């Protein structure tokens, strides 16, 4: 969780740097998704991550969105979605590409919900959304590689 | 397995309920919500400081050449205008008033996407002398007025906000109107008679409206007419400031005697 807190702060700082140019990708959410799939799916652990994602979302809302609750709700739904799919997947199917797909879909859904929630969806807002999604791709690839490396290490 | 699912389901439902409660709270009590937003901004301002400084350095470096040229042009323009006004005052034998106010530089620290054209927050507040209603300029053009002030920061209502109304005059013709935003980045000069015709490029400035907002602050230039209605023709104004990229602004402070130039 400390790593996720650091990533949240990093995301916040990048947003400060890029304010007016771009929307920073949801690094925090991606790391939360990574953490969920990387450990045991016990109810206590998942519940803890649900509340952690919620808290991270609330503070993000208070800092950047201005509507407390929106990102928090999106984060909670994303965590539950990832958990449900990952939990139903047999152990052999829990691969790095599936993780990349899940994390990518989660990030896209989070971005599109934020975009739709904006008061004035415009071309400029759409461009910001597209840039946000594109910048998330290298991070997604990196997380998938880390996950693949971890899988291989565990199976070795 | 069922117990595990139930536990997660309960926590999910609780979290969703809390999220909805927060959403309701933010719409039912916007003032309290804004206080929380400000408090969070205050707490995070410390870890964000290096990033903010870095942004300013990068921004300053990239804009240096452009700003320098703009400032030189503007300076030349103001010098000529000043000279002409001094000559006019001298010929009228009127005493030249001393400037008793000053401009305070401030950095934009927050601009919400959903209120992009409505408001921004800056890092100067009451402690630095900022007062409610003080005009805010960028590149020498009015961009808004201070709408709320705390000790260390202030919120500025932008000129593009739909709730922003301001008496203004077209410098060349002295025709009066009301400047109004539309929350979409446009600025309009409203309530000018339909028979009035302005030329593109004419400067629109503030008219005498109150203690804090002095007349003569340029707002922008006439761009073109809109659609007339009820005998009035709105004119679109192109702001002289770069409203899409606001990083540094200047707040006009009262002077020692409380008057404005």
Tens of pLDDT, residues B156-175: 999 999 888 888 888 888 88
Whether residue B131 has pLDDT greater than 60: yes
Whether residue A125 has pLDDT greater than 80: no
pLDDT grade for B257, boundaries at 50, 70 and 90: very low
Query: Is B49 in the A-facing interface, judged by CB distances under 8 Å?
Result: no
Model confidence, pTM: 0.62
Cβ burial of B27 (10 Å; 0-12, 13-18, 19+) is exposed
Query: Is A2 in the B-facing interface, judged by CB distances under 8 Å?
Result: no
Name chain B contacts of A43, Cβ cutoff 8 Å.
Answer: 3-5, 7-8
pLDDT grade for A121, boundaries at 50, 70 and 90: low
Find residue B176's DSSP bridge partners. Answer: B169
In B, residues 206-225, which contact A (CB 8 Å cutoff)? none
Q: Residues A66, B115: contact at Cβ < 8 Å?
A: yes
Of residues B31 and B96, more confidently modeled: B31
Provide the pLDDT for residue A145. Answer: 92
User: What angle in degrees, to the nearest 10, is found between the helix axes of A96-117 and A123-155?
Assistant: 160
Find residue B18's DSSP bridge partners. Answer: none
**How many residues make up chain A in this entry?**
156
- Output the DSSP codes for B164-181: -EEEEEETTTTEEEEEEE
Mean pLDDT of B191-213: 80
Query: Is A7 in the B-facing interface, judged by CB distances under 8 Å?
Result: no
> What is the Cα–Cα distance from B27 to A67, expressed in whole angstroms?
8
In A, residues 23-62, which contact B (CB 8 Å cutoff)? 23, 42-44, 46-47, 50-51, 54, 57-59, 61-62
Q: Which residue of A has its CA nearest to B17?
A: A73
Q: What SS3 state is found at A19?
A: coil
Query: Is B202 in the A-facing interface, judged by CB distances under 8 Å?
Result: no
Provide the pLDDT for residue A156. Answer: 64
Provide the pLDDT for residue B259. Answer: 42
Phi/psi at B191 (5° precision):
60, 35
> What is the Cα–Cα distance from B242 to B236, expressed in whole angstroms?
16
Provide the pLDDT for residue B74. Answer: 79
Provide the pLDDT for residue B157. Answer: 92
Q: Which residue of A has its CA nearest to B4?
A: A43
Written as six digits, the tokens of B226 are 């809109």
DSSP H/E element including A119: none
> What is the Cα–Cα distance from A82 to A99, expressed in whole angstroms?
9
Whether residue B99 has pLDDT greater than 80: no
pLDDT grade for B260, boundaries at 50, 70 and 90: very low
Provide the pLDDT for residue B3. Answer: 60
Q: Helix %, strand %, coil % for chain B, to 5?
A: 35, 30, 35
Highest mean pLDDT (candidates A39-43, B142-146, B223-227): B142-146
Mean pLDDT of A36-53: 88
Rg over CA atoms, chain B: 23
Provide the pLDDT for residue B98. Answer: 57
Q: What SS3 state is found at B8?
A: helix
By C-alpha distance, which of B139, B195, B135, B146 is closest to B168? B135
Whether residue B258 has pLDDT greater than 50: no
| Residues whose CB falls within 8 Å of the CB of residue A41, separated by 6 or more in sequence, listed in order | A83, A86, A87
- Bridge-based pairing of strands B235-239 and B218-225 is antiparallel
Name chain B contacts of A80, Cβ cutoff 8 Å.
Answer: 8, 12
Provide the pLDDT for residue B1. Answer: 55
- Bridge-based pairing of strands B154-158 and B218-225 is unpaired
Candidate CATH numbers 2.40.10.340, 2.40.30.10, 3.40.50.2300, 3.40.50.12240; the one for domain B101-261: 2.40.10.340
Whether residue B256 has pLDDT greater than 70: no
Provide the pLDDT for residue B93. Answer: 64
Written as six digits, the tokens of A33 are 């998704």
Name chain B contacts of A58, Cβ cutoff 8 Å.
Answer: 22
Query: Is B112 in the A-facing interface, judged by CB distances under 8 Å?
Result: yes
Query: Counting one residue from A and one from B, how many pairs have CB atoms under 8 Å apart?
Result: 118
Whether residue B96 has pLDDT greater than 60: no
Q: Which residue of A has its CA nearest to B184?
A: A120
Q: Tell me the ipTM for this assembly.
A: 0.82
Give the distance between the most distant pair of CA atoms in chain B.
Answer: 93
Contact A80 B12 (CB under 8 A): yes
Q: Which residue of A has its CA nearest to B119?
A: A66
> What is the Cα–Cα distance from B159 to B166, expressed in whole angstroms?
9
């Amino acid at each position: 969780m400390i790593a996720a807190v650091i990533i949240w702060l990093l995301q916040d700082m990048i947003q400060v740097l890029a304010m007016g140019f771009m929307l920073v990708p949801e690094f925090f959410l991606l790391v939360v998704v990574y953490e969920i799939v990387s450990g045991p799916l016990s109810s206590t652990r998942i519940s803890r991550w649900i509340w952690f994602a919620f808290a991270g979302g609330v503070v993000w809302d208070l800092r950047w969105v201005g509507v407390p609750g929106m990102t928090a709700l999106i984060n909670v739904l994303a965590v539950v979605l990832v958990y449900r799919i990952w939990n139903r997947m047999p152990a052999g199917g829990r691969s790095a590409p599936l993780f990349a797909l899940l994390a990518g879909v989660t990030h896209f859904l989070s971005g599109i919900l934020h975009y739709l929630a904006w008061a004035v969806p415009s071309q400029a807002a759409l461009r910001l959304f597209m840039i946000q999604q594109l910048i998330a791709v290298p991070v997604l690839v990196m997380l998938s590689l880390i996950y693949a490396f971890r899988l291989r290490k565990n199976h070795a | 397995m069922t117990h595990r699912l139930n536990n997660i389901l309960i926590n999910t439902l609780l979290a969703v309920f809390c999220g909805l409660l927060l959403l309701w709270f933010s719409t039912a009590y916007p003032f309290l919500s804004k206080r929380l937003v400000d408090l969070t901004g205050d707490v995070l301002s410390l870890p964000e400081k290096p990033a903010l400084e870095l942004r300013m350095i990068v921004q300053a470096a990239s804009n240096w050449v452009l700003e320098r040229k703009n400032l030189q042009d503007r300076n030349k323009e103001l010098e000529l205008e000043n000279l002409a006004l001094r000559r006019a005052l001298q010929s009228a034998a009127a005493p030249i008033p001393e400037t008793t106010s000053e401009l305070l530089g401030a950095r934009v620290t927050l601009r919400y996407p959903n209120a992009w054209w409505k408001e921004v927050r800056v890092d100067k507040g009451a402690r630095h002398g900022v007062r409610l209603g003080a005009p805010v300029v960028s590149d020498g053009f009015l961009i808004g007025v201070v709408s709320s002030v705390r000790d260390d920061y202030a919120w500025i209502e932008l000129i593009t906000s739909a709730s922003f109304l301001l008496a203004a005059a077209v410098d060349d013709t002295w025709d009066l109107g009301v400047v109004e935003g539309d929350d979409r980045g446009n600025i309009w000069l409203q309530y000018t008679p339909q028979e009035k015709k302005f030329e593109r490029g004419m400067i629109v400035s503030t008219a005498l409206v109150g203690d804090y907002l002095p007349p003569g602050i340029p707002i922008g230039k006439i761009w073109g007419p809109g659609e007339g209605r009820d005998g009035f023709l709105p004119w679109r104004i192109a702001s002289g400031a770069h409203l899409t990229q606001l990083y540094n602004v200047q707040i006009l402070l009262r002077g020692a005697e409380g008057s404005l130039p």
